[in-house]
Amino acid sequence: MSAKIHINLMKFEENIDFLTNKLHQNGINVFAVSKVFCAEEPLIKILDQSKVDGIADSRILNLKKIISKKPKMLLRIPALSEVKDVIKYANISLNSEIEIIRSLNKIAKEENIIHQVILMIDLGDLREGIYYKDFDYDIINEILLLKNIKLLGIGTNLTCYGSVIPTESTYKLIENIKNNIERIYNYKLEVISGGNSSSIYLLNGNIPKYINQLRIGEGYVLGRETAYGRKIKGMNDDVFTLKVEIIELKEKPTLPVGLLGVDAFGKKVIYLDKGIIKRAILNVGKQDVFDEYLIPPKGISIIGSSSDHLIVEIENGKYNIGDKIIFKLNYGGVLALMSSPYVEKVYE
Ligand SMILES: *Cc1c(COP(=O)(O)O)cnc(C)c1O
């Protein structure tokens, strides 16, 4: 048996229903983000039948395989070299460069369709978007003149590069830009797309009225908000779990013996001497997932890993060769394991 990622579809559906209802009750539309699970079909089916308002992914390859009646949104700002595919596979795209929006317009015109654009504003997190202090309202004028582009709204992304947590004062910056656009051009922006799972913590009545859309991935997948990393009451944190097998079980010292150099990844490691411990080797390694993304069950702690071996300490509990160990995962764990061809995906 190779390492397996187990995906509990019922728990996923429960998470989708729970959080979508909560968002809708707060007047917020939601695009469910499928990139962390590579837009795999069984999960997309659940989204398609749910109340989410659309499906969003950062990669065109994923959007291409999504079969759904819901609108599809491209999250990563498009490359100039892929605008044809953007027009073909996405109804909406997030954008920050006028050159690319012009190019989208050109292709949309050839295809005789209207492509919808959300213009991204960088409120200080310093990833994509026009920096809020440098916002030049002429760009709106130009976009509004493009016949095959509809300016659906403006948006922002937070807590990704710069770790900026959405707050009322950060959101004020986008409200100002929204108000100015609507006043100068007498044009109603349908969508103010306020961010990702780091905005969930504001859903207790603290999300500003003008924010009417979020794009949610991690919240649905792991049942937690990402501003403070807290579990959301009523949601499942074990939709995705890793199941691996004990392939060696021995007592060994904690201190390596001999002259020490670097580990398999070229790192100089400091080893603490805890004497002899009970250890197990599990059949998963860094080629599948980095060990910092795994959450071990009670009584087991992670010591380290190489490409193909995960070494754990058995602190308590009775185990045998061939026993299976189940780990919960954090975001990087789901991402890596779902992307790995070596990991079997088991839907249950
Ligand atoms: C990945 C992504 C999201 C979803 O983020 P989560 O933290 O998983 O909710 C939203 N917006 C953009 C632009 C993204 O790239």
Give the side-chain half-sphere CA count within 13 A for 161: 10
Give the whole-angstrom CA distance, residue 256 versus residue 207. Answer: 53
Walk along the chain (348 residues) and give the pLDDT tens digit of each residue: 789 999 999 999 999 999 999 999 999 999 999 999 999 999 999 999 999 999 999 999 999 999 999 999 999 999 999 999 999 999 999 999 999 999 999 999 999 999 999 999 999 999 999 999 999 999 999 999 999 999 999 999 999 999 999 999 999 999 999 999 999 999 999 999 999 999 999 999 999 999 999 999 999 999 999 999 999 999 999 999 999 999 999 999 999 999 999 999 999 999 999 999 999 999 999 999 999 999 999 999 999 999 999 999 999 999 999 999 999 999 999 999 999 999 999 999
- What residue type is 80 in one-letter code? L
Q: Which atom of ligand 1 is nearest to the CA of 75?
A: 13
How large is the greatest C-alpha to C-alpha distance in the chain, in angstroms? 75
Tell me which of 74, 127, 160 to substitute to probe ligand 1's pocket, judged by most ligand atoms within 8 Å of the beta carbon.
Answer: 160
Pocket of ligand 1 (CB under 6 A): 33, 35, 58, 75, 94, 157, 196-197, 215-219, 226
CB < 8 Å & 24+ apart, contacts of 267-270: 269/304
Strand-pairing partners, residue 278, are 251
Burial zone of 29 (CB within 10 Å; 0-12 exposed, 13-18 middle, 19+ buried): middle
Q: Which atom of ligand 1 is nearest to the CA of 35?
A: 1
pLDDT of residue 1: 76
Residue nearest atom 12 in ligand 1 by C-alpha distance: 75
pLDDT of residue 144: 98
Helix (H) or strand (E) holding 240: strand 240-253
Active site residue 35: yes
How much is the CA Rg of the chain, to the nearest whole Å?
Answer: 23
Helices 138-145 and 168-185 pack at an angle, to 10 degrees, of 60
CA 95 / ligand 1 centre spacing (Å): 14
> Could you say which DSSP state residue 133 is in?
G
Joined together, the tokens standing for residue 171 give 């959101």
Residue with tokens 């027009």: 87
Q: What is the DSSP string of 59-70?
A: -HHHHHH---SS
pLDDT of residue 63: 98
CA 186 / ligand 1 centre spacing (Å): 30
CA 144 / ligand 1 centre spacing (Å): 27
11, 35, 72, 178: the catalytic one is 35
Tell me which of 33, 47, 63, 240 to substitute to probe ligand 1's pocket, judged by most ligand atoms within 8 Å of the beta carbon.
Answer: 33
CA 281 / ligand 1 centre spacing (Å): 35
Closest CA to 287 of 313, 309, 311, 312: 309
- pTM greater than 0.75 (yes/no): yes
Query: Length of the chain, please?
Result: 348
Joined together, the tokens standing for residue 180 give 């100015």
* Residue 61 neighbours by CB distance under 10 Å: 12
In our burial notation (b when 16+ CB lie closer than 10 A, e otherwise), range 214-251 reads: bbbbbbbbbbbbbbeeeebeebbbebbbbbbbbeeeee
